[in-house]
Structure 1
């Protein structure tokens, strides 16, 4: 079918797999499609033979694209399947055109072959652990929170309506005119699959936001986490961690002791009197740097150190 797509809610897009066949991506783009999800893998032994052509074709046509993994949680653990997904097309790249990878977890379609129920014969506890293992491994490898594709009914039945995945964007599958009830982990959906066919190739989807917000999902800002502890009245540690998807450069750490004490030791940093100044030239994704500061405090009274890292202010009170 041809024509201009009108998304049921937000920005229009599609999802495709090997079963969709060869796709005229320029027609998808001219028909109003702005994004595409392409199946990359299933379990740990299947890779979509058309993935490279479909995934690359979507990008060439100017679409934002993302890969998805069809889970087989009864076959192997979540870590193994996340690893297989990342190694076979699901890795996130910082090109401004790629959204995080998707964990597609839904009713078991192979019940006649594998003899498992809709929840793959996993208990609620085991299913939640499987999903946590997959999403945590994906986060560790890419710096991004995987998108979760599911239905509300499956999530309720097979995870006990778990609320442990609020950080993962929701791609809700519900064919019809409105998204309806959401699983308890989410207060809003990010993507919605409203039909398995329509004016564009493959399944019909929408992004719950603007086109600029869709591009922001593909290209998020850097993220640095700051933590610290006062180990004693004279010893303080500060840790700067790159918890986002991009490497960061030239991170400045400034600090000042208070309570009548002065800094006497700060390896890797400059210090004078009560003040310290540290610099991190480069902090790769997933890495962290810890600084240790030693002070000479007064014997009594409240003491501590105040730190500033970018927009973060942190007080360590002994």
Structure 2
């Protein structure tokens, strides 16, 4: 059994449908200068529907320590919200990805799960350490819950139409909430 969720950024409305969802992951920040202007409203929409809310930071080349600090200081997270590094920029190395996860974990690991979002291509061809922190959120546009990787995944983004849609490897929302609350 799996739970369903979506991820949103400033490209999506803050009035998205929550029907049938158990979680919403919201883009919070990017680099050290961008904050999603809809982040607070998008998170509030999910919270008001009783969903698990998580946040992600789009990694850019530069200081991973500075980006981790910027992310945890600027995202609208509360205790138990999963936090993810979004690794898509070719200018960000595997070592930098690992450094970002380590720094977010150092800053918020007592109160938040810290994980990695990346595509199947990055996981199979750019990753050299198999480090996804507490959770691997893998993008592979195939049947829901069947990403083409051998590693244990926690979340699977399986389509971007009409929105980024995901499943989580949890029996139900209560199991997801228990995992998120550590």
TM-score using structure 1 length: 0.52
Distance 1:166 1:58, change over 3 A: closer
> 2:82 is matched with which residue?
100
Q: Structure 1 CA distance, aligned partners of 2:3 and 2:141?
A: 17
Q: Contact between 1:99 and 1:217, CA under 8 Å: does it hold in 2?
A: no
Q: Which has the higher strand share?
A: 1
Distance 1:133 1:145, change over 3 A: farther
Distance 1:157 1:219, change over 3 A: same
Q: How does 1:27-46 map to 2 (within 5 A)?
A: 27-28=17-18, 31-46=19-34
Q: C-alpha root-mean-square deviation of aligned residues, in Å?
A: 1.9
Which of structures 1 and 2 has the bigger CA Rg?
A: 1
Q: Which has the higher helix share?
A: 2
Q: How does 1:289-300 map to 2 (within 5 A)?
A: none
Q: How does 1:130-149 map to 2 (within 5 A)?
A: 130-143=96-109, 144-149=112-117
Q: Contact between 1:68 and 1:90, CA under 8 Å: does it hold in 2?
A: no
State the SS of the aligned residue for 1:20: coil
Q: How does 1:193-232 map to 2 (within 5 A)?
A: 193-198=157-162, 202-211=163-172, 212-220=174-182
Q: Contact between 1:13 and 1:35, CA under 8 Å: does it hold in 2?
A: yes
> 2:149 is matched with which residue?
182
Greater relative contact order (Cα < 8 A, sep 6+):
2
Q: Structure 2 CA distance, aligned partners of 1:99 and 1:89?
A: 10
TM-score using structure 2 length: 0.88
**Structure 2: 5+ residue runs without aligned partners?**
none
Distance 1:145 1:66, change over 3 A: closer
Q: How does 1:1-318 map to 2 (within 5 A)?
A: 10-24=2-16, 27-28=17-18, 31-72=19-60, 74=61, 76-89=62-75, 91=77, 93-94=78-79, 98-106=80-88, 108=89, 119-120=90-91, 127-143=93-109, 144-160=112-128, 162-163=129-130, 165=131, 167-178=133-144, 179-182=146-149, 187-198=151-162, 202-211=163-172, 212-220=174-182
State the SS of the aligned residue for 1:19: coil
Q: Structure 1 CA distance, aligned partners of 2:97 and 2:132?
A: 13
Q: Deviations over 1:140-159 (max 9, x none)?
A: 11124411001121233323
Q: Structure 2 CA distance, aligned partners of 1:218 and 1:210?
A: 14
Q: Structure 1 CA distance, aligned partners of 2:142 and 2:94?
A: 28
TM-superposed deviation, 1:90? 5.8
